[in-house]
C-alpha cells in the first residue's frame, strides 16, 4: 500500500494505523512530557536492538559499524556495543566519545575521507586500524601511521536515488585509483580496503548494484598494482520510511519489512557479484585508460557496512508542545511549537512537511481526523525560515497541546544548536 498523498488522510493514517511503529501511547507521552518537560526526544532501546538484529539477519556476512554521526547519544552507543556493533567515526570528537563510552577504538573505522593529522593519531593510539582516504593528500597523512593501520580507498559511485548526495565531494575516480595505488606502493604501503557510499536515504537498492560493479573495477585495478583487497565497505544509505517517500520500495505498513526487502535485494547484488568470475554484465562497465576491465571476484573478503539513519531513525520520537497559535490572513492556522529547524529538525535535507506531527490524543480518537485542516507549523526561533510544515493536516490545537513526531532518531539532535538562546531538546532512553 502506498502512503496516501492527501495530507488529511496521511495524518489519519498515522494516528490510526497500529502498524506505524513509532507513536507513543497517550499515557506514556503525557507522563514523560510532564516529568521531563518538552521538547523531549524519547529513544527506545528495544527498537535499536530489533533493528540491529534485523540488519544482521538481512545483511549476512556483513559486519555492522554504526555511523555514529547519525546520533551519538551515549546510551545508544552502549546498546549497540552490547549487540556487537562496531562504529564508524568521523572526527576526533567522535573518537573521544567512543573511547569514553566503549574504552577502545579497536572496533572502529575512521570513514571520514578528510581528517586532521591529530585526529588520525588520536584514533590510532586508541586502537583504530581502519582509515579511509580518497585522495593523495589524505593518503600522505595516513602513510605516516605504523604499518598495521589499514588503508581503505573510498571510490566515487554515482548518486542515484539518494536524498543526500555524497558523491560529488567524496570518492576517487577510477583514473585516480590507479595513481593512488602507485603512490601507496611508492610509500611501501598496501591498500587493503575499498569503501563506497551511495548517498543517504537511497531508496533504490539498485544503486548498490552499480556501486558493487565499480568496487570490482577498483579491486581489479588495485590488484594489478599489487594491492590485495581484504575488505569492502558498502557504506550506509539504507532508507527509512518517513511516511512520505515516493518509492516502489517503500510501502507504508512496516518500515522494518521494507528495509528487509531492500537489504535482501542489496545482498543479492553482492552475492551475484562475488560469485561470478567474469561476466557479460560488465561489458558496459566504464573503460579505464581505454581498456575494458576484466573482472574476477575470487578470494575471501570482509564485508562491512556503516548504517546510520536506518539503525536509529525510528527508535526516537519527539514530544513537543504548542507555544503559539494564530491565524494567517487566508485563515490557515499557524502553530508555533517548542522545537524547530535550529533544534531537533536541523537535518536540512528535507523540505517542509517531511516530518509528521501527530497530536497526542487517544489512539482511537476519530474526532481529530474529521476536524483536521491544513495548518502551518513553525519552530520557536524568531526566524522566518523556521518552518516545519506548510500544510499539515491537524485538528484545532491550543497553547499547551502536546504533539509527537516519529522517526526523529537520525540527524536530529546531533545538529541542534542554541540559536536564539533556545534550549535543545532533552534526550531520554527507555526500554
Ligand X SMILES: Cc1ncc(COP(=O)(O)O)c(C=O)c1O
Question: Using CB under 6 A as the criterion, which residues of the chain lie in contact with ligand X when the complex forms?
Answer: 67, 69-70, 88, 111, 166, 197, 200, 235-238, 306-310
Cell 538562546 belongs to which residue? 421
Of 10 and 138, CB closest to ligand X: 138
Phi–psi pair at 64, nearest 5 degrees: -100, 120
Under 8 Å between Cβ of 289 and 272: no
The CB-nearest residue to ligand X is: 236
Least distance CB 157 / ligand X (angstroms): 12
User: Strands 191-195 and 150-154: what pairing?
Assistant: parallel
Of 115 and 309, CB closest to ligand X: 309
Of 36 and 129, CB closest to ligand X: 129
In eight-state DSSP terms, residue 313 is G
And the C-alpha cell for 158?
554515482
User: Closest by alpha carbon to 228, among 167, 281, 262, 181?
Assistant: 181
Burial class (CB in 10 A: 0-12, 13-18, 19+), 378: buried
Of 172 and 310, CB closest to ligand X: 310
Cis peptide before 202 (omega within 30 of 0): no
User: Closest by alpha carbon to 235, among 193, 208, 196, 199?
Assistant: 196
Burial class (CB in 10 A: 0-12, 13-18, 19+), 151: buried
Least distance CB 332 / ligand X (angstroms): 34
Least distance CB 300 / ligand X (angstroms): 23
Max CA-CA distance within the chain? 72
Cα–Cα dist 11/16, whole Å = 8
Of 51 and 220, CB closest to ligand X: 51
Radius of gyration of the chain (CA): 23
Least distance CB 61 / ligand X (angstroms): 19
Cα–Cα dist 418/398, whole Å = 26
Of 202 and 372, CB closest to ligand X: 202
Cα–Cα dist 205/210, whole Å = 10
Cα–Cα dist 32/44, whole Å = 13
Least distance CB 234 / ligand X (angstroms): 10
Least distance CB 363 / ligand X (angstroms): 30
Cα–Cα dist 91/62, whole Å = 24
Of 58 and 197, CB closest to ligand X: 197
Under 8 Å between Cβ of 418 and 339: no
Least distance CB 194 / ligand X (angstroms): 13
Cis peptide before 57 (omega within 30 of 0): no
Of 89 and 402, CB closest to ligand X: 89
Of 24 and 315, CB closest to ligand X: 315
Least distance CB 407 / ligand X (angstroms): 13
What are the CA-CA distances from residue 104 to residues 83, 96, 124, 146, 291 (Å)? 16, 9, 10, 18, 45
Least distance CB 200 / ligand X (angstroms): 3
Of 10 and 306, CB closest to ligand X: 306
What are the CA-CA distances from residue 12 to residues 103, 353, 373 (Å)? 46, 15, 11
Q: 10 Å Cβ neighbour count for 319?
A: 28
Under 8 Å between Cβ of 6 and 244: no
Least distance CB 404 / ligand X (angstroms): 23
Of 47 and 220, CB closest to ligand X: 47
Least distance CB 411 / ligand X (angstroms): 7
Amino acid at each position: 500500500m502506498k502512503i496516501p498523498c492527501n495530507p488529511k488522510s496521511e495524518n489519519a493514517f498515522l494516528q490510526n494505523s497500529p502498524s506505524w511503529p513509532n507513536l507513543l501511547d497517550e499515557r506514556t507521552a503525557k507522563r514523560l512530557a510532564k516529568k521531563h518537560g518538552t521538547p523531549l526526544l524519547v529513544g527506545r532501546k528495544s527498537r535499536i536492538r530489533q533493528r540491529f538484529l534485523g540488519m544482521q539477519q538481512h545483511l549476512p556476512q556483513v559486519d555492522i559499524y554504526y555511523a555514529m554521526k547519525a546520533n551519538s547519544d551515549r546510551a545508544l552507543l552502549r546498546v549497540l556495543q552490547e549487540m556487537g556493533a562496531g562504529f564508524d567515526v568521523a572526527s576526533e570528537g567522535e573518537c573521544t566519545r567512543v573511547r569514553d563510552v566503549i574504552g577502545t577504538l579497536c572496533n572502529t573505522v575512521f570513514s571520514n575521507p578528510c581528517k586532521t593529522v591529530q585526529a588520525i593519531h588520536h584514533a590510532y593510539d586508541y586502537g583504530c586500524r581502519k582509515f579511509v582516504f580518497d585522495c593523495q593528500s589524505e593518503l600522505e597523512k595516513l602513510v605516516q601511521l605504523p604499518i598495521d593501520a589499514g588503508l581503505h580507498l573510498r571510490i566515487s559511485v554515482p548518486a542515484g536515488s539518494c536524498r543526500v548526495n555524497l558523491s560529488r565531494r567524496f570518492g576517487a575516480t577510477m583514473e585516480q585509483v590507479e595513481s593512488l595505488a602507485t603512490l601507496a606502493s611508492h610509500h611501501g604501503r598496501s591498500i587493503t580496503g575499498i569503501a563506497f557510499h551511495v548517498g543517504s536515504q537511497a531508496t533504490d537498492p539498485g544503486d548498490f548494484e552499480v556501486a558493487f560493479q565499480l568496487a570490482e573495477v577498483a579491486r581489479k585495478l588495485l590488484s594489478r598494482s599489487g594491492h590485495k583487497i581484504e575488505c569492502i565497505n558498502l557504506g550506509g544509505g539504507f532508507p527509512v520510511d518517513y511516511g512520505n517517500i515516493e518509492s516502489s520500495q517503500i510501502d507504508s505498513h512496516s518500515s522494518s519489512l521494507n528495509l528487509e526487502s531492500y537489504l535482501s535485494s542489496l545482498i543479492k547484488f553482492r552475492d551475484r557479484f562475488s560469485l561470478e568470475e567474469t561476466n557479460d554484465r560488465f561489458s558496459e562497465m566504464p573503460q579505464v585508460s581505454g581498456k575494458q576491465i576484466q573482472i574476477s571476484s575470487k578470494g575471501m573478503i570482509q564485508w562491512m557496512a556503516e548504517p546510520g539513519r536506518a539503525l536509529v531513525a525510528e527508535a526516537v520520537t519527539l514530544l513537543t508542545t504548542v507555544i503559539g497559535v494564530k491565524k494567517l490572513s487566508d485563515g490557515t492556522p499557524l502553530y508555533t511549537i517548542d522545537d524547530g529547524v535550529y533544534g531537533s529538525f536541523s537535518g536540512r535535507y528535507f523540505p517542509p512537511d517531511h516530518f509528521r506531527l501527530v497530536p497526542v490524543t487517544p489512539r482511537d480518537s476519530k474526532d481529530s481526523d474529521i476536524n483536521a485542516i491544513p495548518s502551518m507549523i513553525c519552530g520557536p526561533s524568531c526566524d522566518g525560515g523556521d518552518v516545519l510544515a506548510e500544510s499539515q493536516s491537524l485538528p484545532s490545537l491550543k497553547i499547551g497541546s502536546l504533539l509527537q513526531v516519529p522517526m526523529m532518531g537520525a540527524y536530529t539532535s546531533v545538529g541542534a544548536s542554541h540559536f536564539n538562546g533556545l534550549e535543545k531538546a532533552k534526550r531520554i532512553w527507555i526500554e
